[in-house]
A = this chain, B = another copy of it.
Amino acid sequence: MIQATIVGGSGYTGGELLRLLLAHPQVEVVQVTSRRHLGEYVYQVHPNLRKQTALKFSDPDQLGACDALFLALPHGQAQHKIDHYASLAEHIIDLSADFRLRSSQAYQQWYGALHAAPEWLGRFVYGLPELHREQLRTARYASGVGCNAAASILALLPLAQAGLLEKDAPLIVEIKVGSSEGGAEGNPGSHHPERSGVIRTFSPFGHRHTAEVVQELELSNVSLTMTSVDLVRGALASAHATAPAGTTQKDLWKAYRAAAAQNPFLRVVKEQRGIYRVPEPKVLAGSNYADLGFDLDERNQHVVALCAIDNLMKGASGSAVQCMNLMLGFDEMAGLGFPGLHPI
């Protein structure tokens, strides 16, 4: 049993981490912090956790030592205290955007600010096990992933690994997301009467998660187009890519099957009949699986690569726990067994 602490436990990724770690067979959660909800029972904020734990939110300024420290703070905070955090725990997983990019220049370009701890950027591993499994086994520090970046990368990973992605062709990724992606803080646009039933293209390009896709897939010409739809959990990335001349559906099948075989949380969904023929995020709520699909227009080598995830799980807390499992030598799937629901 290791001891874990969550800093920033009242938000959605913090709550999801807590749910996962409370049920994890090798983890004891010793502390969960929240400045705003200090002293409240965690189940008063996360009502699903009632009868799961008697933990109360504690003071983020009174952190004790632990084996694994999860940081689930708003962007821009962890980088200012990373030395302090590192003095408390052997292993750190930071779910914010602070340590996802390897280059302080890229950070400045996409986040519009100087990074406060650029020397730490090189010490973190980008926390997507499907990309960096072996590195994570020996890592002490892992970042989280941007949920939209994770969906985009996983949609394309089989192509990239099989050499079926024309890296110079323009790559358009259309991502449809649920409302939990915006976090637990409301804003005028998240008020239910305004947010319900939307198809709202809030970002045609320039989304910050683009930086992670560029970095991890070594691409140059990528656009992420973000559209909010009426769903709470879930994201679907539809990547419009170009395959090399002569590529066939069979080649794609081979590439995607290989990826699913090598990665316990990847599945290929491409059925000829039934209702669920393609990846759909709704059946993934609460699950760490990423469902992949693809199709090829053989007339022009246009590939539509699909990836559905739960943005709070594979796109945030689930991947973080998967990283922890690797970093601490646990079974990669420990604590991540929930497969999602049907119907939902």
Contact = CB atoms under 8 A, between A and B. Distances in A.
Interface string A241-257: 00000000000000000
A50 interface: yes
A329 interface: no
Interface in A303-344: 304, 306, 308, 337-344
Interface stretch (A26-34, A87-95, A108-116, A172-180): A172-180
Interface string A274-318: 111110111111110101010101001010101010000000000
Best-buried of A23, A188, A195, A227 by chain B (most CB within 10 Å): A195
A243 to B, nearest CB: 13
Interface in A8-59: 12, 15-16, 19, 23, 40, 44-52
Best-buried of A178, A276, A302, A342 by chain B (most CB within 10 Å): A342
A194 interface: yes
Given A192-B192, A302-B170, A338-B338, A343 B200 contact: no
Interface of A: 12, 15-16, 19, 23, 40, 44-52, 170, 172, 174, 176, 178-180, 182, 184-202, 204-206, 221, 223, 225, 227, 229-236, 238, 240, 264, 267, 269, 271, 273-278, 280-287, 289, 291, 293, 295, 297, 300, 302, 304, 306, 308, 337-344
18 contacts: A46-B342, A51-B267, A179-B193, A192-B232, A193-B343, A193-B344, A197-B230, A197-B234, A199-B281, A201-B236, A201-B293, A202-B278, A204-B304, A205-B297, A205-B304, A206-B297, A230-B231, A233-B341
Given A47-B283, A174-B174, 9 more contacts: A46-B342, A48-B341, A50-B289, A50-B291, A170-B302, A176-B229, A199-B231, A201-B293, A233-B343
